[in-house]
Amino acid sequence: MAVKIRLQRHGKKGKPFYWIVAADSRAKRDGKYLQKLGVYDPNQNPARVEVNIDQALKWLQDGAIPTNTARTLLSYRGVMLKHHLNKGVLKGAFKQEKADEEFQAWIKEKESKISAKQEKISKEIDKSKADKLKLEKELNQKRVLDRENAANEAAAKEEAANEAAAKEESPKEEASVEEAPKAEVTAQELPKEQAPAEEPPKEEAPAIEPPKEEASGEESTKEETSAEEAPKAEVTAQEPPKEEAPAEEAPKAEAPVDKDTSKEDDPK
CATH number of the domain bearing residue 30:
3.30.1320.10
Decide if 231 contacts 201 (C-beta within 8 A): yes
Number of structural domains (the chain) is 1
Q: For residue 104, what are the contacts with CB-CB under 8 A and spacing of at least 6?
A: none
Give a yes or no: residue 249 inside a domain: no
Give a yes or no: residue 118 inside a domain: no
pLDDT tens digits for 13-63? 889 999 999 998 888 888 889 999 999 999 988 888 999 999 999 999 888
- Find the mean pLDDT for residues 7-11: 91
Give a yes or no: residue 155 inside a domain: no
Greater confidence (145 vs 254) lies with: 145
Torsion of CA 116, 120, 126, 128, to 10 degrees: -170
Give a yes or no: residue 73 inside a domain: yes
Element (H, E) at 36: strand 35-41
Decide if 9 contacts 67 (C-beta within 8 A): no
Give a yes or no: residue 213 inside a domain: no
> Which structural domain range is residue 85 located in?
3-94
Task: Decide if pLDDT at 77 tops 50.
Answer: yes
Write the single-letter amino acid at 248: E
Of the candidates 197, 259, 267, which has an alpha carbon nearest to the alpha carbon of residue 230?
197
Task: Decide if pLDDT at 249 tops 50.
Answer: no
Give a yes or no: residue 188 inside a domain: no
Element (H, E) at 162: helix 96-169
First-to-final CA distance of the chain: 190
Give a yes or no: residue 26 inside a domain: yes
Task: Decide if pLDDT at 88 tops 70.
Answer: yes
Give a yes or no: residue 31 inside a domain: yes
pLDDT of residue 163: 86
pLDDT tens digits for 121-156? 888 888 888 999 999 999 999 999 999 999 999 999
Write the single-letter amino acid at 268: K
Q: What is the C-alpha to C-alpha distance for residues 209 and 195, in angstroms, rounded to an integer?
A: 25
Task: Decide if pLDDT at 68 tops 90.
Answer: yes
pLDDT band at 185 (very low <50, low <70, confident <90, very high): very low
pLDDT tens digits for 188-245? 444 444 444 445 445 444 444 544 444 344 444 444 444 444 444 343 434 444 444 4
Decide if 30 contacts 19 (C-beta within 8 A): no
